[in-house]
Structure 1
Amino acid sequence: MKALWKEFSTYAVVGVANTLIHWQVFYVLVTAAELSQAASNVAAFCVAAMFSFYVHALYTFEAGASVRRYLAYLCFMGVVSFVVGHYADVWKIHGLVTVASFSLLSLICGLFFSRFILFGGREA
């Protein structure tokens, strides 16, 4: 249990940096580039995911991941980010609510996906 708590805390710290990157890219794409929230959310997720994947592989899970598992992770979380952004566009929800909602979903879904699928091959 202690190891899982340490893993979650490290995951959360990296998640804060990931969230800052995601929110900034999202904001620039929505306001300056005038993209939809769906497109902006997916693009922002991809940029932030590159950062967090590298840091998580080095420090959080201390294991490498296969390219296939990494692509599965990107596809899964990319679809989640698109769906959140799409419904925000349809329902005309403020962008802050969009990124906050996705950040919460990303923390929960991303932790379990990363732990059990992406980096699931390592010993506990």
Structure 2
Amino acid sequence: MCVLPKHFSIYVYIGVLNTLIHWGVFLTLHSVLSVGQLVSNVCAFAVAATFSFYANSRYNFKRTASWARYLSFIGFMAFLSLAIGWLGDELAMPGIVTLFVFSGVSLVVGYFYASYVVFRGTAT
């Protein structure tokens, strides 16, 4: 039986909440308020990623939040989002496929980046 590390399990839980927040903000802005997809997605990313950073900082890695950590996390995740969005455009993938690819890749890659760069040195 494979047992996931405690930090990864918590990261997944926070990631699910992050996804719900992202989709909720996006759908509210785009579908209810008729804001364009670009602005809706950027706003949704900013709100959800900020939640994810602070939740992981406090409840998962138990590290003090700082501007340097915040900017490192947000910058990396934004770059990852842009890279996967670019790849989706280049490969002409349907938007929903790009969304699921980003969700999976960002979960795994984001966890390792948070663990070994943003919140490095955290005791388990």
Q: TM-score range by the shorter chain?
A: 0.7 to 0.9
CA drift of 1:6 comes to 1.3
Structure 1 gaps of 5+ residues are none
1:111 corresponding residue in structure 2 = 111
| CA–CA separation in structure 2 for the residues paired with 1:56 and 1:45 | 16
1:116–1:103 Cα change, 3 Å: same
Tell me how far 1:63 sits from its aligned partner.
Answer: 1.2
Counterparts of 1:15-34 in structure 2, within 5 Å, are: 15-28=15-28, 31=31, 32-34=34-36
| Contact 2:22–2:48 (CA under 8 A) maintained in structure 1 | yes
Q: Could you say which residue in structure 2 is the equivalent of 1:11?
A: 11
* Gap runs ≥5 in structure 2: none
CA contact (8 A) 1:42 1:81 kept: no
Superposed counterparts of 1:15-54, under 5 Å: 15-28=15-28, 31=31, 32-36=34-38, 40-54=40-54
Amino acid at match of 1:21: I
Q: Distance in 2 between matches of 1:123 and 1:55?
A: 17
> Partners of 2:103 and 2:82 in 1: how far apart?
13
Q: Which amino acid aligns with 1:116?
A: Y
Q: State the alpha-carbon separation in 2 of the partners of residues 112 and 28 from structure 1.
A: 31
How far the C-alpha of 1:93 sits from its partner, in A, is: 3.6
**How far 1:113 sits from its partner (Å)?**
0.7
One-letter code of the match for 1:33? V
The residue number in structure 2 matching 1:82 is 82
Contact 1:69 1:118 (C-alpha < 8 Å) held by counterparts: yes
**What residue identity is the alignment partner of 1:118?**
V
> What letter matches 2:117 in structure 1?
I
TM-score (norm 1): 0.78
Q: Which amino acid aligns with 1:46?
A: A
> Superposition RMSD on alpha carbons, in Å?
2.5
Aligned pairs, how many?
A: 120
Q: Is the 8 A contact 2:50 2:74 kept in 1?
A: no
Post-superposition shift, 1:118? 0.8
Higher relative contact order (CA 8 A, sep 6+): 1
Aligned sequence identity (%): 43
What letter corresponds to residue 76 of structure 2 in structure 1? F
Question: When the two structures are superposed, what TM-score results if normalisation uses the length of structure 2?
Answer: 0.78
